[in-house]
């Protein structure tokens, strides 16, 4: 219920922001058109945000024939978590990473890069996908997917007005320039308000419970962290608002890392997971 409230609040804030930008650039008529655009985008992202993100990353569907081991691993974990079988996707990127998306457990999808499939052992990969299914179980995926899509929509909205705001000499209205400059911080702040860092700790704990092996995820996180710092994920760099969906922050650039950071320190996540193992003994 709490995630539903945050989702509705985020949509309301986005619609109001669109209205204010429209009013600043086009008066009452601009505000009306902007509110209609914002409301329409809210409906669009609720139903199709998962497909938008998956297409953004050029994810390809996987099944028992095309990726038998990976598909079987996800199916077994979904059964252990008492969740419907999610759709499974593979992203052709060298950086090891993964995410879950969808509006609810009945319409969930999990995606993993080829880098993570090649880098991790089966045990470590099991820990990662258990973490992603914990996000599905906790219903984190709706707010994270919508936040990413709406934040991207803000930038698209600004570019639209940047295109329309030029005069015959190619000069752009100062208000349009100012709004464009402010968009990235606004989008980042909206994501940080909507996405709590605590959710990653909860997904780590939930994933450990699903897999029954906290140290598998701890080992995986350390390995992913070592590789991710050296290998860029081009789509995430181009669309940093999607970084918060990943199990590990995929942004290599330091400025983007700071602006769109929603992940807790890797050292603290690993320490908490190893403490869970110690507590079991």
The pLDDT value recorded for residue 122 is: 97
**pLDDT given for residue 178 in this prediction:** 56
Q: What is the mean pLDDT of residues 238-255?
A: 80
Q: Tell me if residue 132 is catalytic.
A: yes
Contact 206, 100 (CB under 8 A): no
Sequence-ordered strand ranges (E) for the chain: 60-62, 87-91, 98-102, 108-113
pTM equals 0.79
Phi and psi for 94 in degrees, rounded to 5? -75, -30
Query: So what's the pLDDT on residue 139?
Result: 85
Q: Sorting pLDDT into bands at 50, 70 and 90, what band is 264?
A: confident
Which has the minimum average pLDDT: 181-190, 241-250, 262-271?
181-190
For residue 61, what are the β-bridge partners?
Answer: 89
Report, as an integer, the average pLDDT of 102-109. 92
In this predicted structure, the answer to whether residue 166 has a pLDDT above a threshold of 60 is no
The β-bridge relationship of strands 98-102 and 60-62 is: unpaired
Q: What is the mean pLDDT of residues 29-49?
A: 74
Return all residues near 187 (Cβ < 8 A) that are at least 6 apart.
151, 152, 154, 155, 241
Its sign, for the CA torsion 86, 135, 118, 77, is negative
- Does the structure show a pLDDT above 60 at 181? no
Over residues 118-142, mean pLDDT: 94
pLDDT above 70 coverage of the chain, percent? 68
Average pLDDT, the chain: 81
Q: Give the highest mean pLDDT range of 58-72, 129-143, 172-186, 190-204.
A: 58-72
Q: What is the pLDDT of residue 253?
A: 61
pLDDT value for 114: 98
In angstroms, the CA 34 to CA 19 distance is 5
pLDDT of residue 183: 58
- pLDDT exceeding 90 applies to what percent of the chain? 45
* Whole-number pLDDT of residue 145: 76
> Which run of H or E residues covers position 154?
helix 141-164
Question: Residue 167: pLDDT above 50?
Answer: no
pLDDT-derived band at 270 (thresholds 50, 70, 90) equals very high
* Spatial distance between the Cα atoms of 97 and 224, rounded to a whole number of angstroms: 7
Among residues 93, 132, 215, 241, which one is catalytic? 132
């Amino acid at each position: 219920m709490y995630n539903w409230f945050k989702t509705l609040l985020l949509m309301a804030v986005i619609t109001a922001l669109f209205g204010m930008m429209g009013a600043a650039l086009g008066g009452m008529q601009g505000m009306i058109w902007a509110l209609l655009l914002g409301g329409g985008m809210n409906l669009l992202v609720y139903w199709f945000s998962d497909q938008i993100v998956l297409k953004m990353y050029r994810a390809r569907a996987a099944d028992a024939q095309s990726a038998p081991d990976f598909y079987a691993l996800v199916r077994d974990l979904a059964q252990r978590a008492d969740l419907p079988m999610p759709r499974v996707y593979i992203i052709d990127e060298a950086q090891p990473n993964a995410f879950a998306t969808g509006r609810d457990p009945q319409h969930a999808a999990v995606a993993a890069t080829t880098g993570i499939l090649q880098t991790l052992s089966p045990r470590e990969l099991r820990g990662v996908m258990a973490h992603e299914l914990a996000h599905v179980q906790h219903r984190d995926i709706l707010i994270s997917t919508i936040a990413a899509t709406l934040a991207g929509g803000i930038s698209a909205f600004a570019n639209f007005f940047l295109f329309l705001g030029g005069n015959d000499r190619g000069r752009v209205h100062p208000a349009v320039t100012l709004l464009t400059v402010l968009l990235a911080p606004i989008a980042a702040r909206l994501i940080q308000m909507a996405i709590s860092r605590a959710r990653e700790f909860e997904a780590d704990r939930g994933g450990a419970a699903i897999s029954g092996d906290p140290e598998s995820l701890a080992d995986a996180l350390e390995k992913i962290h070592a590789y991710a710092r050296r290998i860029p994920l081009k789509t995430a760099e181009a669309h940093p608002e999607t970084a918060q969906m990943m199990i590990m922050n995929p942004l290599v650039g330091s400025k983007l890392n700071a602006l769109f950071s929603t992940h807790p320190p890797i050292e603290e996540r690993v320490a908490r997971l190893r403490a869970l193992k110690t507590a079991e003994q």
